[in-house]
Amino acid sequence: MGIGLRIRQYLTGICVFVSAAVFTSNAVAYDFMPVDIVYYIIAGAACLVIVSELSNFISLKRLAEIAFVCILPAAFAFSSMYNNASHIRNDDAVFQGLFWLIYIPLLFIINCLLRAADSVSTLTIKDICGFIRRNIWIGAVLIIVILSRLIFMDTLQRWDAGEYYARFIKGIKYFSYSSFSDFLNNFTLCGHPTLAFSMVYMIGELAFPQQIKGVLIVNMVLTVIAVWCLYRIIMHVFCNSTPARAAVYAFIISFAPLFYGTFGYFNPDYALAVFAVIALYGYVYELPVITGFACLLCIYTKETGLVIVAGLTMGIFTDHLLRNPGCRGIVSIFKDMKLYFMLAAVISYRFYTKAIGGLTNWSQTTESGTGIRWDNNGFNCLGINEAHIITKLKQQFILNFNWILAALITAGIIYAAVMIIRKNSNAYKDSHANKDAETGNKGDMLKLCGVFGILAAFTAFSCLYITAAMARYNVVGDIMLYVLGLACLDMMISNAAMYIPSAGIAVMLIAQCFYTVDPLTVAAFGGVDTGSGKMVYVGIEDGDRYYGDYLIYNTQYLWIDRVMDKLLADSDYDGTQDIILFNDYGGSQIAGNDPLYYYNWDKRLKKRVFYSNENTVKMSYIVGDILADNMKLQSRAIVVFIPYMHNDEEKQCTG
């Protein structure tokens, strides 16, 4: 490490300090007093020296972890000041908070880039070409991942996603950046601990307010990160992985119907799955800072984040004990820095519970209350409810061709057991002495303990926690199931023949992303009358269906909004007509979710939207079942019939 690097670090740091100070003061309209200038110069210089010297002291790998973590607070502060300056109070506390949130993280990021540039200064063209050649397959997959999701960038939010988005918009509107309690009050969406979730998605929402594409751009970035992490996990863990094979497996997971189908649906479960994948990546590659940070994101996205952390912890314990039986395994557990960072993330939740006065503020219904209790016949509680358990197991292991992954895992366990028995025979040892070296079997399969731990903990909690049995809660479980199933496929077929079943699985999954083509899904769940095509209801069949989030298991539910927008456009809707629906207790939400929010009708674009401008009119609707003689109606009306609502058009129109 030469003096040249230090000079570059300090010069760059000074530039960052001046830029951050000017940008922040302009955004907040903050007027510096002479004493403020002295304070910021001294404090800024101290931070510059500490961060620069610390960056030279720790390894580049650890510095890269810290730099990755620093991206979030820096992006949050920058987006807030650039896009939301009018909501930021002009006082010293707010200025200081935003300034340090930009300046210190940027110092770490810049120092990491300088160290990295210094370490690769001897790279040749051959090295660069080799890097491109190794990553060309995953590069192609990431391009497909992005292009295949662009069609959802203006998806109208409905049902729970609409409620989350409406509350998120409201939180941004009233958030003043003045205190943590202010942040807490505005961003515990629907009672969940969605603090990290909100912080991440505010970056995009502030850039494109109330247009949904802002939060979906964030979703796109998170999805790309998740697929890349899955690819790297596969490369490290699967026993026969090559860049091409790993890219194929990552491609298959990216088109898991539930993972693909909830991309455009604003909800914490999707983000939770991505953060779980990042935590898994940190565990596989021994990155304690990233592991702890991702666990923190999980915990402050939804309560089930604690379950994911618990499952990963169990997986890490198992990993250590299998690698080092006996006391050595216990000693290695205590030496594992990842566990300490994860523990710190969990301990932080204690301060959250103290702030809100309990474990959680979330409740599915007003009657069920909050907190944790045991009641087999209750709701929003722990218990053994046969109907709920059966439904959750069907969702996890049958829905959307998941039965194929479950079958692969079963076959893989049998195959592994047979191979272990065979390997214990002397004849096998003699004939296969050098085979592992020849075939390149190199995967660290014990790292699958973390995957299995998350899947086991998440599935057990899903079965025992009695709440609305929605499939979209299972995104985390689906991804872990896919990783385990594909690991078994890779283990059983080590040659190029693997591409044949992989291609078949990929084709079926892509079709299932858009249409319900899985025969076992149709057989396991009740059908939904769409007028054309197959669709299923994934909730508990208790005779009282709510056609909301229970229709979300791929992207097929989007036909509802496409048809509604077309219906209103073809009827020349302009806000002066009444919209009347019969039997609308199943969640059509044609005009919004009364009374939480209403959509607006964009007369120019001919579609329903959240935002309002000179081209929009506010929407409302009337439930035809409660029409009264004295009700004031418009001179014209649009009467909407939805097949699965079991409407009798002739009866409703005549009588």
Query: Among candidates 450, 370, 448, which has minimal Cα distance to 409?
Result: 448
Whether the per-residue pLDDT at 3 is higher than 60: the answer is no
Residues near 12 by Cβ (< 8 Å), separated by ≥ 6?
A: 110, 114
Average model confidence (pLDDT) for the chain?
83
CA distance 4 to 208: 42
pLDDT tens column, 373-422? 888 888 888 899 999 999 999 999 999 999 999 999 999 999 988 888 87
pLDDT band at 16 (very low <50, low <70, confident <90, very high): low
Annotate 251-284 with DSSP letters as a single string.
HHHHT-HHHHHTTTS--HHHHHHHHHHHHHHHHH
Phi, psi of 227, deg, nearest 5: -65, -40
pLDDT at 56: 79
Whether the per-residue pLDDT at 83 is higher than 90: the answer is no
Residue pair 378/387 in contact by the 8 Å Cβ criterion: no
pLDDT at 4: 63
Looking at 84-194, list the stretches that DSSP marks H as alpha helix, in order from N- to C-terminal side. Answer: 92-119, 125-149, 159-174, 180-187
As separate numbers, helices (DSSP H) first and strands (DSSP E) second, the chain gives 26, 12
CA distance 104 to 172: 25
Rounded to a whole number of angstroms, the CA Rg of the chain reads: 27
Cis geometry, peptide bond prior to residue 519 (ω within 30 degrees of 0): no
Query: Among candidates 375, 385, 541, 362, which has minimal Cα distance to 463?
Result: 385
Whether the per-residue pLDDT at 432 is higher than 50: the answer is no
How far from each other are the two terminal CA atoms of the chain, in whole angstroms?
Answer: 87
pLDDT tens column, 23-80? 666 555 556 566 667 777 777 778 777 887 887 788 888 988 999 999 999 888 888 8
- Looking up tokens 């219904």 gives 365
Residue 97 tokens, joined: 């908070």
- Looking up tokens 């990431």 gives 142
Number of Cβ atoms within 10 Å of the Cβ of 457:
24
What is the DSSP secondary structure assignment for residue 374, as one 8-state letter?
A: B
CA distance 548 to 112: 47
Distances (CA, A) of 215 to 144, 187, 211: 20, 15, 9
pLDDT at 431: 47
CA distance 589 to 586: 9
pLDDT tens column, 336-379? 999 999 999 999 998 888 887 766 765 555 555 555 788 888 88
Compare 646 and 473 and report the one with higher pLDDT.
473
pLDDT tens column, 121-134? 666 777 777 778 88
What is the DSSP secondary structure assignment for residue 88, as one 8-state letter?
A: S
Annotate 343-372 with DSSP letters as a single string.
HHHHHHHHHHHHHHTSS----SSTTT-SS-
CA distance 583 to 488: 48
Annotate 421-477 with DSSP letters as a single string.
HHHTSHHHHHHTTTHHHHHT----GGGHHHHHHHHHHHHHHHHHEES---GGGGHHH
pLDDT tens column, 224-253? 999 999 999 999 999 888 899 999 999 999
CA distance 575 to 565: 13
Residue pair 625/581 in contact by the 8 Å Cβ criterion: no
Residue pair 556/623 in contact by the 8 Å Cβ criterion: no
Q: Is 590 exposed, middle or buried (0-12, 13-18, 19+ CB in 10 A)?
A: buried
Residue pair 104/47 in contact by the 8 Å Cβ criterion: yes
Residue 548 tokens, joined: 């909301």
Compare 194 and 103 and report the one with higher pLDDT.
194
Distances (CA, A) of 558 to 89, 151, 245: 40, 11, 33
- What predicted TM-score, i.e. pTM, was given to this entire model? 0.89
Residues near 582 by Cβ (< 8 Å), separated by ≥ 6?
A: 623, 624, 625, 639, 641, 645, 647, 652
pLDDT band at 514 (very low <50, low <70, confident <90, very high): very high
Whether the per-residue pLDDT at 2 is higher than 70: the answer is no
Compare 645 and 218 and report the one with higher pLDDT.
218
Long-range contacts of residues 352-359, Cβ cutoff 8 Å, at least 24 apart: 352/193, 352/195, 352/300, 355/180, 355/181, 355/184, 356/184, 356/188, 359/303
pLDDT at 27: 55
CA distance 186 to 208: 19
CA distance 84 to 165: 18
